[in-house]
Amino acid sequence: MNKARVIFHLDMNSFYASVEVAHNPSLKGKPVAIAGNPEERRGIIVTSSYEARAKGVKTTMPIWQAKKLCPNLIVLSPNGERYKAASKALFEILFSYTPFVQQVSIDEGYLDLTSYLKEIHPVKLAQLMQERIQMELNLPCSIGIAPNKFLAKMASDMKKPNGITVLRKRDIEKMLWPMPIEKMHGIGRRTVDKWKKYGVNTIGDLAKADRLSLIKKFGEHALQLKERANGLDDRTVNPHAYGEFKSIGNSTTLRTDTKNVVFLQSTLENLAMRVHERLRSKEVFARGIQITIRYFDWKMVTKSNKLLNPIQTKEEIMKEAFNLFRQIWNKEAVRLLGVSTYDLIEKKYAYKQLDLFTYKEEIRREELNETLQQLRNKFGDDIVKKGWKKQEGDEH
């Protein structure tokens, strides 16, 4: 590995639960779960300790079911500030080794250690790193070591908790290819059945699949996945990537200054749709939202709100935006409206503290939005307008 890049992927083990155990050592060795609405039996498990997982407790499982499997399960509410503080401390440690650290979520990141490793073996360094994080933060982690980001990510998942795994390109056929396709990083949960339908049951099947057949059945993106399955990935470790999307928003100057609340609400709905489409195209969710109002006399006011759960749908954006609008609108004529989202996070790392019913509703809503977006892409934005009424400014 000396001539190739040396990339680490460090992934904290059962991060939220482990932070709670570090905060309260009496929980060590006990089955612990973090859940939204823990006081309600219909709350949903966000994550759990390995002791709980050994009893069958899984993410998105309702609390009542988890407690049936594990009667002595200790269920705690999420403590976002505690997790953020632990994450900050973790990445301060990682940046002490190299400036080339790319955070990809609150509890995982890549490190490019190619130039650092001159006098120490990668596995030895990983052991020292793991021991330091355990000693200073009292938190366990797994580390994958490979010549690129994809293989490092796959390696870190192979041995948990407290694992260190080296995955070289020459090891791909033996270590990577036998794995089921659903274990491959980049394969969406909802597409697994489609891959299997066409005979792609393992990562090796994808690696050896015909290129033209892949394009026809899965689109151009499948070729990139095929390259990954063959161990090819030239992406750099980018220290700035986590904060790449600072904000996404839209504003509009109204044709005439207006106090018509129905028209203003309709305008906010249009802005929410545009913001939703941009978030969706970038595959990010927002953890903050801001509303901007400019009045007839050019006075401008803004109000923002940090959200408990990341959002992306038009309905969620509209709800939050209109709540902020009602709080700051002084009933004077409005000249400009704006809706923007900030504190963005990649879709795959966004999580929600959902109860059983909203979790199912979220899946239904996502499928509906997917269908509506396909119609708009094919026939234009006006092909589908849910609940549209004739408002001030409508021509037809």
Domain boundaries, the chain: 1-167, 170-241, 245-353
> pLDDT tens-digit profile of 219-252?
888 999 999 999 999 999 988 776 555 678 888 8
Instruction: Give the span between the Cα atoms of 368 and 377, in whole angstroms.
Output: 14
Give yes or no: 136 in active site.
no
**Sheet harboring 300-311: ordered strands across?**
247-258, 334-346, 284-295, 300-311
- 1-167 domain in CATH 2.60.120.200? no
Task: Please state the rounded mean pLDDT for residues 275-295.
Answer: 89
Do strands 141-146 and 164-166 pair parallel, antiparallel, or not at all (unpaired)? parallel
Where does the pLDDT of residue 190 fall: very low under 50, low under 70, confident under 90, or very high at 90 and above?
confident
What's the whole-model pTM score?
0.66
Q: Catalytic: which of 39, 51, 92, 108?
A: 108
pLDDT of residue 393: 36
Which class does domain 170-241 fall in?
mainly alpha
Among 29-43, 69-83, 128-142, the range scoring the smallest mean pLDDT is 29-43
What integer pLDDT is reported at residue 25 of this predicted model?
A: 95
Higher local confidence (pLDDT), 363 or 167: 167
Q: What is the pLDDT of residue 53?
A: 95
Q: Does the annotation list 210 as a binding residue? A: no
Confirm whether residue 107 is marked as ligand binding. yes
Give the pLDDT confidence score for residue 362 in this predicted structure. 54
Q: Is residue 354 very low, low, confident or very high in pLDDT (cuts 50, 70, 90)?
A: very low
One-letter amino acid for residue 245 of the chain: F
Average pLDDT over residues 41-49: 80
Mean pLDDT of the chain, nearest integer: 85
In this structure, which CATH number among 3.40.190.10, 3.30.70.100, 3.30.1490.100, 3.40.50.150 belongs to the domain 245-353? 3.30.1490.100
What is the pLDDT at residue 282?
Answer: 82
The torsion angles phi and psi of 97, rounded to 5 degrees, stand at -95, -35
